[in-house]
Chains A and B, each alone.
Chain A
Amino acid sequence: MRELIFGKLTFDALPHEWFTEGGTFFMTLTGLALVIYLTYTKRWKWLWQTWMTSTDPKRVGIMYMVVASAMFFRGALDAAIIWLHQSLSSGSNPGIMNADHFQQIFTAHGDIMVFFVTMGFLFGLLNYIVPLQIGARDLAFPFLNTAGFWLYAAGAMLINLFFVLGGDFAATGWLAQAPLSELQYSPGVGVDYWIWSLQVSGLGTLLGGINFLVTILKMRAPGMTLMRMPMFVWTSLCSMVLVISIFPILTITITLLWLDRYFGMHFFTTGFGGNPMLYTNLIWSWGHPEVYVLVLPAFGIYSEVVATFSQKRLAGYGSLVGGAIGVTAFSVLVWLHHFFTMGANADVNAFFGMMTMIIAIPTGVQVFNWLATMYRGRIRFTTPMKWFLGFVSTFTFGGMAGLLLASPAADFQLHNSLFLVAHFHTMIIGGALFGIFAGITYWFPKVTGIKLNERLGTYAFWCWIVGFFTAFVPLYILGLMGATRRLDHYDTATGWQKLFITSGVGLLIIALGTAIQVIQIVVSIRARNKNRDETGDPWNGRTLEWATSSPPPHYNFAVIPKVEDRDAFWVMKQKGLTKPKRYEDITLPKNTASGIYLSICAFLVGFAFVWHINWLAIAGIIGGIAVVIIRSFDEETEYVIPAAEIKRQEERHAPRT
């Protein structure tokens, strides 16, 4: 009877270790403080109406950024623990925790940083910027967008839930490789938490991918042909094409793993004819293109930044577009380089090795395009530009390491070593994360109407750059010396400890950089009267997002701009900006709470399957279907803002140029 109601969830499962109890304590305290604050300031209604149920991509975008920032601190904390443990755990010193706990932490670190930090930031930027850059007022499917965000948020909750509700997290590495992730070897609920947090948030990503693809292809302002789109829109389009091509594979792969664990199937088991290598193939045919999903939008951000701050047109726009498309196409043909050591024959390995080297060409083309854009430009060394230059150096550095790894012969030596760990951190931090930072500093004035403090931004940048190389160059060396990844203990005779400690010092410098970034935002907002941008165009920008006020009105553009060339806003400025003569009614999507209800149902289904609470799973599925059906009856999903109201708002808020 008890099992029927609670499944495998028992009192024994509840938190009883210092880190889970600490997590419970911290989360309860934060939650309580938030509830008290909201009640005290009577903000519940405001939160629900202006934010949670909003279909405005700008608000959804900001919510993505908030969740991603919170998850960034969780992931960074994990990184700090990993480094502290590895710096100490040598010889007779056992480090600060046991091997199982260590494994859970590096697993969580990887998953959180990829799925909930980088993806969250990118979807946040896409939500805010893409509609503005294509001169649209909202996305193609506003409801899908809020549903996608809330599914992402539900996934973020599921991955942290074990702190509060107990059990453990997967101790399998971030991709839960089979057969280690099978019931036989991971009997706890950790892998199930992994499965369902990724499944739920992955569904949100897939919905987002479909939504942005249709938005970019169908909702551009009149005159904006494909070859007049800003580069950020192009690379976002490529990234979304990848999302819709690969996330279905992820969905199926982890569903099959779940079928193994829940229904006793034998896809990836060691017995009954199961084939663990099938899992490796499937997960990496999602996993490798995923890296490009992360980095392509960042390429777009760099393109925008470098053109704006060189005050020049992008050099070789056509080849940049070609480069982005080339990367997209090749990215699905390289997955096998993650397991050259599997034992495929030499021809197969050679093919994937060559494809991996070839993909460096379209990537390299883009780097040269950016450098050529700077050539003879009137460069302003603002913080976004510094992030771009930091990216060029780190990304080139990491890319060269990648080319080394692409050779199967070298890979046999370097496979699963810290060299590899250092390589992909260089690509994701130097590529994607620096891009996100550049994007945040570049568009912060657009989102808030306030420019960020340049001096503090520069300090943060230098901390990150110096810290990054101090942290990761030792890992390259350690990898070459034979240190494997996910190492929880090593012999003193290896002489590795000094390098691990150096690397930890690098982490501290990065942490200082992050602290300065937080201070930068606080200081800039506190001195908002000094930093305010009234023009809506603080950088002398080139693309349409700068054509509207900062922050943009709910409807983005009072009159949809007509696009006559690439760098549409720049061209408009050359011709002289004119005030619109008359306004028309604007139709916008209404708020909806259906996305939240859908995500609550998905959360319950995930939670129920983790703990084998079948009645709750069925209830959640029925609830989710009911939400969709009820929503399908709703014809009044939009409302109209009358022209007179637009005129009134525009006269109050229009950019003062």
Chain B
Amino acid sequence: MHPEHNSGKYIFGFWVYLMTDLIMFAALFAAFAALRISTFGGPTMKEIFDLPQIMIETLILLMSSFTCGLAMLAVFRGKKKLSFLWFGVTFILGLAFLILELSEFRHLINDGQSWTRSAFLSSYFALVGTHGLHIAVGLLWILVGLYQIKTRGLTPFISSKLVRFSLFWHFLDIVWIFIFTFVYLMGVAT
């Protein structure tokens, strides 16, 4: 139904959307940068960040980006089963990341260090939580994508959606690298 020249505008439009999302993250980073030392007598970054666990989270997310890439290669070669498999793996890795992140959040909240404790914790939960929310949306998207691959196969219509998903997923990976660096590594270093 879609003429060939149309597919370009969808990808381009999605890029533009990603840039707007990036600006949202930029605003959250700015808020975090302004409030990171406003601990108001509560815990500092050094005290609450558990780097080994964050490292595991990071590796899992990077891995999921890699498997997402493999899934897209399968899509481009028209290998339906293989793409299904790699998207499945991506989903499991994304889910593992989200579970680890939520357990980290739960741990903090149980220790009485929730977002109401200080401005620093508010900005931390808002920034990392927004990324987590994006991951959750991505997971839902994979489920819909898997269902669409299963029922409709790798038609141009479905493939174009998968291309956009992969852009989204890699984008979240990049944002996470910034979070890992500016929130966690620099937080522990200072």
Contacts and interface: CB of A to CB of B under 8 A. Distances in A.
Interface residues of B, number: 39
A217 interface: yes
B24 interface: yes
Contact of A587 (B3, B28, B31): B3
Interface stretch (B35-43, B55-63, B67-75, B78-86): B35-43
Interface in A67-113: none
A273 B40 contact: yes
B23 A210 contact: no
A636 B1 CA distance: 7
Contacts of B76: none
A247 B20 contact: yes
Contacts of A265: 115-116, 122, 125-126
Given A274-B38, A632-B161, A210 B27 contact: no
A141 interface: yes
Interface in A44-88: none
Contacts of B113: none
B20 A267 contact: no
B34 interface: yes
A537 to B, nearest CB: 30
Contacts of A247: 20
A266 B119 CA distance: 5
Contact of A273 (B3, B30, B38, B126): B38
Interface string A587-620: 1000000000000000000000000000000000
Interface string B5-20: 0001100110011011
Does more than half of chain A's interface fall in helix, strand or loop, or is it mixed?
helix
A267 B122 contact: yes
Contacts of B21: 248
Contacts of B144: 629, 632
Contacts of A251: 24
Does more than half of chain B's interface fall in helix, strand or loop, or is it mixed?
helix
Contacts of B30: 282
B13 A140 contact: yes
B166 interface: no
A635 B26 CA distance: 35
A571 interface: no
Interface in A187-235: 206, 209-211, 213-214, 217-219
Interface stretch (A256-264, A509-517, A520-528, A553-561): A256-264
A177 interface: no
Interface string A228-248: 000000000000000011111
A121 to B, nearest CB: 23
B1 A635 contact: yes
Contacts of B64: none
Nearest to A210: B16
A248 B116 contact: no
Contact of B157 (A206, A256, A269, A635): A635
Contacts of A625: 140
A618 to B, nearest CB: 14
B28 A252 contact: yes
A638 B1 contact: yes
B90 interface: no
Contacts of B38: 273-275
Nearest to A211: B13
Nearest to A214: B13
B24 A248 contact: yes
A274 B116 CA distance: 11
Contacts of A638: 1-2
B117 interface: yes
Interface string A250-289: 0111001001100111110101111100100010000000
B9 A140 contact: yes
A249 interface: yes
B180 to A, nearest CB: 20
Given A252-B27, A635-B1, A272 B126 contact: no
B20 A206 contact: yes
B120 interface: yes
B19 A263 contact: no
B16 A248 contact: no
A633 interface: yes
B65 interface: no
A273 B13 contact: no
Nearest to B117: A272
B164 to A, nearest CB: 10
B144 to A, nearest CB: 6
Residue of A140, A210, A272, A625 with most chain B CB atoms under a 10 A cut-off: A272
Residue of B26, B27, B39 with most chain A CB atoms under a 10 A cut-off: B27
A247 B20 CA distance: 8
A371 to B, nearest CB: 36
A206 B123 CA distance: 24
A260 B122 CA distance: 9
Contacts of A253: 27
B20 A248 contact: yes
A275 B23 contact: no
B28 A272 contact: no
A218 B16 CA distance: 13
A608 B40 CA distance: 32
Closest 7 CB pairs of A and B: A273-B38, A273-B119, A273-B40, A265-B122, A248-B23, A252-B27, A248-B24
Interface of B: 1-3, 8-9, 12-13, 16-17, 19-21, 23-24, 26-28, 30-31, 34-35, 38-40, 115-120, 122-123, 125-126, 140, 144, 148, 157, 161
Given A140-B13, A259-B122, 19 more contacts: A141-B13, A206-B20, A209-B20, A213-B16, A218-B12, A219-B9, A244-B19, A252-B24, A259-B115, A263-B115, A267-B31, A267-B35, A272-B40, A273-B40, A273-B119, A274-B122, A278-B31, A278-B34, A282-B30
23 contacts: A206-B20, A210-B16, A210-B17, A213-B16, A217-B12, A218-B12, A219-B9, A244-B16, A244-B23, A248-B26, A248-B27, A249-B24, A256-B31, A260-B122, A265-B122, A272-B117, A273-B38, A274-B38, A278-B34, A282-B31, A587-B3, A633-B148, A635-B157
